[in-house]
Amino acid sequence: MTATAASQELVSDLISFLNCGKSPFHVVAETRRRLLEKGFQELSESDCLQQVEGSAFVIRGGAAIIAWRRGRKTPCEAGFRIVGAHTDQPCLRPKPGLVKNAQGLNLLDVEPYGGMILATWPDRPLSLAGRLIVEVEGQVQTRLVSLDGPLCCLPNVAIHLNRSVNDEGLKLNKHKQMSPVLSMGSSADEAREALLESLAQRAQIPRSQILDHDLFLLEAEDATLWGMNQEFISSGKLDDLAMCHAGLRAMLESERGDQTAVLALFDHEECGSNSYRGAGSDFLPSLLARLAGSEPEALPRALSHSMQISADMAHAVHPLYADLHDGTHVPSVNGGPVIKVNHNQRYATDGLTAAVFRNLCKLLQVPCQQFVSRPDMPCGSTIGSLTAAYGIATVDVGNPMWAMHSVRESAGAQDAISMTSVMKAFLSGF
């Protein structure tokens, strides 16, 4: 395959990954499928991991996954090379009751999850995906589910009834004005049962087996390329599935080095990471401790040799809002991976880890950029500072993008290729 063909294949594969990743549970299911296809062994956290050689992975809670490949040397001797990202994204999430009624219409009863841009959700077809909690022969199990095609819509109000919308912006109350229209002609209870029946049919189970659900609203349209030269990607969930994809491709394609290579994809980053499958949990540190060995000082010795790339998308300079950047750090779309710096440790980068990443980019002849928030504007955060606190030297990076946390975001196709190549070299031990 030529370099051009390989690049086109990677971008096409990213589009496919974005379309498969309809919920954090779907992201992990697709990651699992690809790992198994390449010979990784699926294990449980209850298994004895120290006895396992080669490549393996563990899933926690259906929406977080850690995969690893043993290095030529032990972790005590060479440490870990870790790429971390997250599987979740800001969105609307249905409440347990699913449906409510207003003005004779049935509305999907939802709650905003994460720091979403509310005003981007109206007037576009929305679909539903996630997992069902079911009872099968007395056992509680889970089933992935996705309703293909449009299910509901959140209609805007006419400008004639909101004359100030173009001057003051669209302001939406999270409780009163974010519930999409689902159906008409029935009660809320009947609509709820009809929706559950549709979900059951998609999951190929009887409605009576559904005990509960973890569901997510998403835009019904697929990811796509755009631009005169097809140089941009438009999709929901680019933050952070683009980095999940880059890390996964790097894990599957990198060569075995001295270090143990690790891919860690967490849930719940968008609401603080403090959950049993988030980056603030014991998932990563407990697994690294078990891989390091049973010697009393095995883990601290391993971590002293280790480094992590915390990969979460970055803010590109916007052609219409350039003044929102600090003026000297203005990453551009398709300008290469971005090192993110915040001296108050909202990002975990320091001078040493930044230099390591920058030198790796230089070795691969990949352009490298930097981002620093304006001091008078709040800075976002990532999993980086949380996992760095375990004792892991960390650099926070990401691909530059526009419209972060919109229902539909944009990024550069070339940046996907560049970041994947850097992560691949990193996990190979360069």
Q: Are 426 and 323 in contact (CB under 8 A)?
A: no
Which of the listed residues 168, 191, 219 is the one where a domain comes to its end?
A: 219
Residues 82 and 105 in one domain: no
SS3 category, 235: strand
Beta strands 55-60 and 41-43, pairing class: parallel
Which residue, 188, 219, 250, sits at the end of a domain?
219
Which CATH number covers residue 59? 3.40.630.10
Nearest Cα to Cα of residue 236 among 380, 405, 94 = 405
Would you give the DSSP letter of residue 227? S
230 domain-assigned: no
> Can you give the pTM of this predicted structure?
0.96
Whether 268 and 407 share a structural domain = yes
Shared-domain flag, residues 81 and 140: no
Residues 109 and 85 reside in one and the same domain: no
Backbone angles phi, psi at 47, to 5 degrees: -75, 160
In this structure, the answer to whether residues 51 and 136 fall within a common structural domain is no
317 with 418, same domain: the answer is yes
Domain boundary among the residues 189, 219, 249 is at 219
Does residue 351 lie within any of the structural domains?
yes
Give the whole-angstrom CA distance, residue 401 versus residue 333: 6
Cα 429 to the center of its chain, rounded Å: 25
Tokens of residue 27, six digits: 């992201």
Q: What would the pLDDT profile of 183-241 be if each residue is shown by its tens digit?
A: 997 899 999 999 999 999 999 999 999 999 999 999 999 999 999 999 999 999 999 99
Pair (307, 365) in one structural domain: yes
Collapsing DSSP states into helix, strand and coil, what is residue 67?
strand
Q: Residue 225 domain-assigned?
A: no
CATH number for position 132: 2.30.250.10
**Residue 386 confidence (pLDDT):** 93
Please identify which residue in the block is written with the tokens 């095609």. Answer: 149
User: In Å, what is the CA distance from 155 to each residue of 228, 341, 406?
Assistant: 31, 40, 17
How many angstroms separate the Cα of 39 from the Cα of each of 13, 33, 36, 67? 19, 10, 5, 12
Closest CA to 129 of 149, 147, 150: 147
Same domain, residue pair 68 and 110: no
C-alpha span between 118 and 178 (Å, rounded): 8
Domain membership flag for residue 226: no
* Neighbour-count burial of 271, counting CB atoms closer than 10 A to its CB (0-12 exposed, 13-18 middle, 19+ buried): middle
Q: Do 289 and 211 belong together in one domain? A: no
Residue type at 25? F
pLDDT at 380: 84
* Gyration radius (Cα) of the chain, Å: 22
C-alpha 273/C-alpha 260 separation (Å) is 25
CB 202 within 8 A of CB 110: no
| Residues near 14 by beta carbon (within 8 Å), at least 6 away in sequence | 233, 242, 245, 416
Angle at 13 between CA 12 and CA 17, to 5 degrees: 120
> Are residues 344 and 413 part of one domain?
yes
Mean pLDDT of each 10-residue bin along the chain, 430 residues long: 84 98 98 98 92 93 98 96 98 97 95 97 97 95 94 96 95 96 91 96 95 97 96 96 98 97 97 93 96 92 97 97 92 97 94 97 97 89 92 97 97 98 96
Evaluate whether residue 68 is within a structural domain: yes
Is 186 in the same domain as 215? Answer: yes
C-alpha torsion 359→329→340→121, nearest 10: -130
Angle at 408 between CA 407 and CA 413, to 5 degrees: 150
Cα separation of 50 and 40, whole Å?
15
In a domain, 227, yes or no: no
Please tell me the total count of domains within the chain.
2
Q: Do 419 and 323 lie in a common domain? A: yes
Domain range for residue 158?
91-219
Which one, of 406, 238, 254, lies nearest residue 312 by Cα?
Answer: 238
